[in-house]
Structure 1
Amino acid sequence: MTDVLTRELSSTHDRVRSSVSSARRYLQSLQREEGWWKGDLDTNVTMDAEDLMLRQFLGITDERITQETARWIRSCQRADGTWAIFYGGPSDLSTTVEAYVALRLAGDPVDAEHLRKAREYILDNGGIESTRVFTRIWLALFGEWSWSELPVLPPEMMLLPDWFPLNIYDWASWARQTVVPLTIVGSHRPTRDLGFSVRELRTGVRPREVESPLSWASVFHGLDSALHRLEKLPLKPLRKVALERAERWILDRQESDGGWGGIQPPWVYSILALHLRGYPLDHPVLRKAIDGLEGFTIRYRTENGWIRKLEACQSPVWDTALAMTALLDAGTPPDDPSLVRAADWILGQEIRVGGDWQVRRPDLTPSGWAFEFANDNYPDTDDTAEVVLGLQRVKHPDPQRVDAAVDRATEWLVGMQSSDGGWGAFDADNTRTLCEKLPFCDFGAVIDPPSADVTAHIVEMLAARGMADSEAAQRGVRWLLDHQEVDGSWFGRWGANHIYGTGAVVPALVACGISPQHEAVRAAVQWLVAHQNADGGWGEDLRSYVDRTWVGRGDSTPSQTAWALLALLAAGERGDAARRGVEWLMATQRPDGGWDEPQFTGTGFPGDFYISYHMYRVVFPLSALGRYLGKR
């Protein structure tokens, strides 16, 4: 019996080793000559629809771009005529309205079957009257919605000191970069010709307000009404200086690639704002911004013609850091040329200039890494932690250079710890919730409080640097233990969802000296085992962010299965659950060494905006299988 078991274990080990080798070769084949990795980043078609609307507003439409984009949007329409915000998700009203408008811009006739089906869904679900604020802003730009029926974002908020409630630094970095240009757009209240009307999408019925008259939401609705009355006054003594300050704020934050923050919303709204401030389209700032958008496009040929889609963001630093760790976990020698090239590129991306984070941490020496190719104003703690975790394991020919960068980054990360012991992604102590009560904020997260996944990555990094007993690490551990869910899992802010959070936290706790037998770790293990799918994998549908009946439930995916395995292996689990998870990964691996994953497992804004990172389906399974071999 012992001999049979030994042969079975040896056979499994050989198969896992073969799977790891195949995945490693595949991942290395994706590396760019400069040393970085970047997978495609899929979101939803609002990016593409708004790109066409932006071009219509600016008068720079291009028939090739329009038709290629329209093909992409049509390809994402479901059989019921709607569009969703993630693969397999429910129909989304605002996304469907924006897609409808974009296809009308492309010349699709209003009586076409696919638009008729979309229109029926829109009208059955409240029409454009029930769409989110951002959708109605786009409609207002073309006179299809009244500016007076949109929440007011007065540019005078630029004059509020950073200690005053609702100043721009109370907003999360991504929201701040969007709100500032929108104060300019909203003050101008422009309208341009759409070329048609979408009155057919109106129901004539306004949604009913459900807030209690004693709630903060009701208070801010009252404030918004007062602001609307003030907007009608002919004299606004502070308006001129406020608009000038907003304009300068935007100009000061344009990145080398022409964009703002490396993400689509601030980019397009900053273009609109500066154009409305009188900047011609051939002005160097706007020319650079508009041309830069092309670097975020993906084009490929299909049987129906070329398709063009726009990435909402790009993730080369994140992808490269995760790829380095995956290769190292898979047994790649630390001085392998692919790792040295990656380290060289990463070292060149360190940010040594200040940014908005200095408002809360003015005395901290700049360092860190951003998510994107160009986003020096906004390094983030999550990327920085993952970069350090990878860099410190590489055997680089210039170790002093690596050590210096790692030391700077570590000091910066410790300084970015919030007062409660956790870490947010871009700012420290970005926790004032008043912003969330504004009528404008009906879409997406608008503050950046500490989260379990980010805190865990930084705690794990501190432990890897020999700082597990430091005050910063121990405060982070206490934060993580205090924020464990009652069911034993942890909420995942930047990945789907409790599987991501739990997969990050358990390895961090164990790395910091928490025993695998600790009650928090055992509760997490029990939760993971209880939520393993019958096929051996793990999955969690993104609806878990808004409906707790979906927590831990969903089709098995490579990335989520890997996250669960990373937690189980860190907790010393090598029993049936881990074995079945490993078997699922091997069974679903493609012949080329990669995996398929149509599901979205990344999170932008919980409940509203989700991401499919194409690299996730490779790097995380490789790390999990590599660690499984390493712990055998």
Structure 2
Amino acid sequence: MAFAVAGHSQAKISPGLLARAREAVEKSREFLLRRQAVEGHWHFSMEANATMDAQYIFFNRLHGREKPAEEKRLGLHLLATQGADGGWPLFHGGPGHLSASIEAYFALKLLGYSPEDEPLRRACEFIHGQGGLAQAQVFTRFFLAFFGQFPWEGVPALPPEIMLLPDRFRFSIYNMSSWARSTVVPLLILGQHRPRVVIPAEQGCAELWVGSEVADDFSFPPAEETISWKNFFVQADKVFRLLDRLPTSWRRAGLERALHWVLERQDCNGGWAGIQPAMINSVLALRAMGCAANHPAVVAGLEAIDDFLVERDGHLLFQPCVSPTWDTALIVRGLLDAGESPDSEAVTSAVRWLEKAQIRREGDWAVKRPDLPAAGWAFEYANDFYPDVDDSAVILMSLHLAGRADTD
């Protein structure tokens, strides 16, 4: 049999290979149909890197709650994902990454592991070889500073007066991406209040400094990429430090606006923007602004955060987000391409679920596009303020293939 590939001449496929391919397609189809939720959608776990597990441990300490069983298992997952070079990578099989390794190391110290333990010795050597704590990235510096492990002089300035900037200004929050905005706004509060957890010296990570315990210069050169978090903070830090000279009344106004912004953007499931950084920062920001542990927004936020814990291959890990609409749209398209009928129960129930997931309320996008009708989809179960182009496009293509071209 000949197999046509766009832009190429037909390639011949042996009958044996074709038979195995058909068998693989059928097995995949059967597997996916077994995994479909009763509501009609699909959802598979999402693994990121060591910073997720580490930051869950940091968060519990900062919030003042105890989760010993979960943290013990997260610690075992951290040990299981340490790379051969002693560090922790940003992606499976990749080289060790300095900041991810610092966070993993510090989290293990908080769990009671000793710097003399073999995994931590190897990690310390890797971190020293990369320049130590002085070379940590921005968000890692924030977490370390919350525990007194990094001087605040080395953390970029993020004054809450940013909330008062007009939308047209370069550093307005509405010129950030949605995930950056939802992460940075609560960080404005945390950077001002600077919550502090006092830990025993043996749980700290002073041994990760290279040369001296405290570096004289914490600046870092701009990243090679034109658009990056590092470049944003490098440029913004120079401007934002000038805002320290503004009247304190402006600072109070900025803090209040940031607090209201966070409260107004909490989703129905208690989360923010459907992502871990925004959720963790928002709960901590609410506490820093005086919200009690039993405040409804805090309680709901904690539930949303804990919902990101998932079992996978015998390990407990902390997900950065969840992806039901994305998973469902891609699987619907795959099933249809594999010959599944658009009228099958699997496809029709998935289509119904996707149609119900469409977001009909205005989100932050309306600041820039006030006349655009609300009709997109987000990546997650609950993320009404931030539908995105990627999910909306893939879902529309799947609905079209399923015979729903007339959908609104």
**Matched residue of 1:341: which SS?**
helix
Q: Deviations over 1:98-135 (max 9, x none)?
A: 00111111111221111111111111211111010110
Corresponding position of 1:292: 304
Offset at residue 165 of structure 1 (A): 1.7
Q: In the alignment, what sits opposite 2:93? A: 88
1:273 aligns to 2:285 (yes or no): yes
Deviates more, 1:386-395 or 1:85-94: 386-395
Write the distance in 2 (CA, Å) between the matches of 1:226 and 1:385: 38
Tell whether the 8 Å contact from 1:52 to 1:61 is kept in structure 2 after alignment.
Answer: no
CA contact (8 A) 2:134 2:209 kept: yes
Check conservation: 1:148, 1:228, Cα contact below 8 A.
Answer: no
- Indicate the residue corresponding to 2:186 in structure 1: 181
How far off is 1:294 after superposition? 1.8
Deviation per residue, 1:180-231 (Å, 9 max, x gap): 11111111122211333211111134467557xxx99999868735744753
After the TM superposition, which residues 527-542 of structure 1 pair with which residues of structure 2 at under 5 Å, given as runs? none
- Contact 1:56–1:194 under 8 Å retained in 2: no
Q: Please report how far the alpha carbon of residue 366 of structure 1 lies from its aligned counterpart in structure 2 after TM superposition.
A: 0.6
Task: Note closer, same or farther for the CA distance 1:219–1:283 as it changes in structure 2 (3 Å cut).
Answer: closer
Cα-to-partner distance string for 1:285-325 (whole Å, 9 max, x where unaligned)? 001101111211113574xxxx3211101000000000100
1:52 corresponds to 2:57? yes
C-alpha change, 1:161 and 1:222, in structure 2 (3 Å) is closer
* Corresponding residue of 1:109: 114
Answering whether residue 339 of structure 2 is matched by residue 336 of structure 1, we say: no
Q: Which among 257, 280, 305 is matched to residue 269 of structure 2?
A: 257
Residue 424 of structure 1 is matched in structure 2 by none
In structure 1, runs of 5+ residues without a counterpart are 406-632
Question: Aligned partners of 2:358, 2:240: CA distance in 1, in Å?
Answer: 43
Structure 1 residues 11, 33: closer, same or farther in 2, change over 3 A? same
Change (3 A) 1:11 1:101: closer
Return the match for 1:224 from 232, 237, 249.
237
Letter of the 2:209 partner, please give it: R
**Which residue does the alignment assign to 1:199?**
206
Correspondences of 1:290-439 after superposition (within 5 Å):
290-299=302-311, 302=314, 307-395=315-403, 403-405=406-408
Counterpart selection for 2:40 from 35, 47, 50: 35
Q: Which residue of 1 aligns with 2:31?
A: 26
Deviation at 1:13, TM superposition (A): 4.3
The offset of 1:84, in angstroms, is 0.6
Which residue pairs with 1:121 in the alignment? 126
Question: What does 1:58-73 align with in structure 2 at a 5 Å threshold?
Answer: 58-73=63-78
For 1:199 and 1:51, locate their aligned partners in 2 and report how far apart those are by CA, in whole Å: 21
- 1:261 alignment partner, SS class: coil
Distance 1:247 1:197 in 2: 31
Q: What secondary structure does 1:77 align onto? A: coil
Which structure has more relative contact order (CA 8 Å, sep 6+)? It is 2
2:260 corresponds to 1:248: yes
Q: Please tell me the root mean square deviation across aligned C-alpha atoms, in Å.
A: 2.7
Structure 1 residue 78 displacement after superposition: 2.1
Aligned equivalents of 1:256 and 1:387: distance in 2?
Answer: 22
Match of 1:527 in 2: none
Gap runs ≥5 in structure 2: 3-11
Decide whether the 8 Å contact of 2:156 with 2:233 is kept in 1: no
- Quick one: which amino acid aligns to residue 356 of structure 2? G
Query: Displacement, 1:63?
Result: 1.3
Deviation sequence 1:310-347 (CA, Å, 0-9, x none): 11010000000001000110111110110011011111
1:571-608 Cα shifts (integer Å, max 9, x gaps): xxxxxxxxxxxxxxxxxxxxxxxxxxxxxxxxxxxxxx
Distance 1:228 1:27, change over 3 A: same
CA gap of 1:340–1:110, structure 2 versus 1, over 3 A, is: same
2:176 matched to 1:164? no
Determine if contact 2:88/2:97 at 8 Å carries over to the other structure.
yes
Q: Decide whether aligned partners of structure 1 residues 59 and 386 sit closer, same or farther in structure 2, where only a CA change above 3 A counts.
A: same
Relative distance call for 1:9 and 1:316 in structure 2 (3 A) is: same
Q: CA deviation at 1:66?
A: 1.5
- Determine if contact 2:342/2:402 at 8 Å carries over to the other structure: yes
| Residue identity in the other structure for 1:246 | A
Identity of aligned residues (%): 39
The answer to whether the Cα contact below 8 Å between 2:160 and 2:189 also exists between their aligned partners in 1 is yes
The separation in 1 between residues aligned to 2:351 and 2:110, in whole angstroms, is 45
- Which amino acid in 2 is paired with 1:157? I
Query: In structure 1, what is the equivalent of residue 8 of structure 2?
Result: none
Map residues 549-628 of structure 1 onto 2, 5 A cutoff: none
Count of matched residue pairs: 388
Q: Is the 8 A contact 2:85 2:95 kept in 1?
A: no
Change beyond 3 A, Cα 1:300–1:50: same
Q: Larger Rg: 1 or 2?
A: 1
Q: Give the SS at the match of 1:298.
A: strand
Alpha-carbon contact 2:42-2:324 (below 8 Å) kept:
yes
- 1-structure distance, mates of 2:238, 2:401: 57
Asked whether 1:134 is paired with 2:139, we answer: yes
Cα 1:238/1:403, change in 2 over 3 Å: same
Deviation at 1:10, TM superposition (A): 5.3
Deviation at 1:97, TM superposition (A): 0.6
Which residue matches 1:627? Answer: none
Provide Cα deviations, 1:254-309, integer angstroms capped at 9, x if missing partner.
1111111101111111111111000111111001101111211113574xxxx321
The structural deviation recorded for 1:44 is 0.2
CA change 1:386–1:111 in 2 (3 A) is: same
Contact 2:110 2:204 in 1 (8 A): no
Alpha carbons of structure 1 residues 260 and 218: separation in structure 2 relative to 1, 3 Å: closer
Rate the CA distance shift 1:283–1:226 in 2: closer, same or farther, 3 A: same
Tell whether the 8 Å contact from 2:154 to 2:219 is kept in structure 1 after alignment: no
Query: For residue 591 of structure 1, what is the aligned residue in structure 2?
Result: none
CA distance in 2 between counterparts of 1:197 and 1:220 reads 26
For residue 249 of structure 2, give the secondary structure of its aligned residue in structure 1: coil
Q: Residue 188 of structure 2 aligns to a residue in which SS?
A: helix
Contact 2:127/2:208, CA 8 A, preserved across alignment: yes
Relative distance call for 1:78 and 1:173 in structure 2 (3 A) is same
Q: Deviations over 1:402-431 (max 9, x none)?
A: 7242xxxxxxxxxxxxxxxxxxxxxxxxxx
Give me the whole-angstrom Cα distance separating, in 2, the residues matched to 1:125 and 1:387. 43
TM score, norm. by length of structure 2: 0.88
Secondary structure of the residue that 1:165 maps to in structure 2?
A: coil
Change over 3 Å in CA distance of 1:221–1:341 after alignment to 2: closer
Match of 1:100 among 85, 105, 111: 105
* TM-aligned CA deviation for residue 394 of structure 1: 2.3
SS at match of 1:178: helix
Letter of the 1:290 counterpart: L
Which residue of structure 2 lines up, in the alignment, with residue 490 of structure 1?
A: none
Q: Residues 506-517 of structure 1: matches in 2 within 5 Å?
A: none
Alpha carbons of structure 1 residues 247 and 8: separation in structure 2 relative to 1, 3 Å: closer
Tell me whether 1:78 sits opposite 2:86 in the alignment: no
